[in-house]
Every structure is written in structure tokens, then in C-alpha cells.
Amino acid sequence: SFSAIGNIEGQWAAAGNPLTSLSEQMLVSCDTKDGGCGGGLMDNAFEWIVKENSGKVYTEKSYPYVSGGGEEPPCQRDGHEVGAVITGHVDIPQDEAAIA
């Protein structure tokens, strides 16, 4: 959740939006494609946000991180402030020739 949310925060700001702290807890508790506190894949997280949450990423302030001790509270999808909206993602190749 931290790598996916950190990526979205950076891309959201790079696109000219305010730098916004977004919710890792949203993914830990709600993303059914990954393993909560057990980890997961960024691609799965992005796909869950787009397909299952209409592209909405909640703010950290409205859905704060509480799973530091390994607990995974149930998903709460209502009543949160939307801090960013994504429509998809692109995987950048690891090969420098492919990037160029």
C-alpha cells in the first residue's frame, strides 16, 4: 500500500495538483486483490482503485493509517474525502533501451 500510494501522491503532484497525503489504510483494509498487512503488488492496488473504487483515492486525514500493529480493520468506503482520482497506470520497462 505504501509504494502504490506514494507513487500516486507523486504523480498527482507532478500533474499540477496540490501535494496531498493519501490513505494507505484504504488499500490495507479495502483492496481485495492484495493481502492487507501481508503485502501485495502495486499493479493490483492500482487496478483495485480504478475498477473497484471508481479511481478514487482517499486522503490520509479522512482515512488515517491504523494498521501499524498488524491489525486490519474492516473496509469503510463511505464518508471519506477524495484526495486524488486515477484512471489507470503504466508499467515502465526496466530496460533503458525500451524506455528511450
Pick the CATH number of 2-99 from 3.30.360.10, 3.90.70.10, 3.40.50.150, 1.10.390.10: 3.90.70.10
pLDDT tens, position by position, 23-32: 999 999 999 8
Please, which residues have CB within 8 angstroms of residue 20's CB and are 6 or more apart in sequence? Answer: 9, 12, 13, 59, 83, 84
pLDDT-flagged residues of the chain (< 70): 99-100
Sequence spans of domains, the chain: 2-99
With beta carbons less than 8 A apart as the criterion, state whether 98 and 91 touch. Answer: no
| pTM of the full structure | 0.89
b (16+ CB within 10 A) / e for 44-66: bbbbbbbeebeebbbbbeebeee
Report the alpha-carbon distance of residue 38 to residue 20 in Å, rounded.
Answer: 25
Would you state the pLDDT for residue 38?
84
Would you state the pLDDT for residue 12?
97
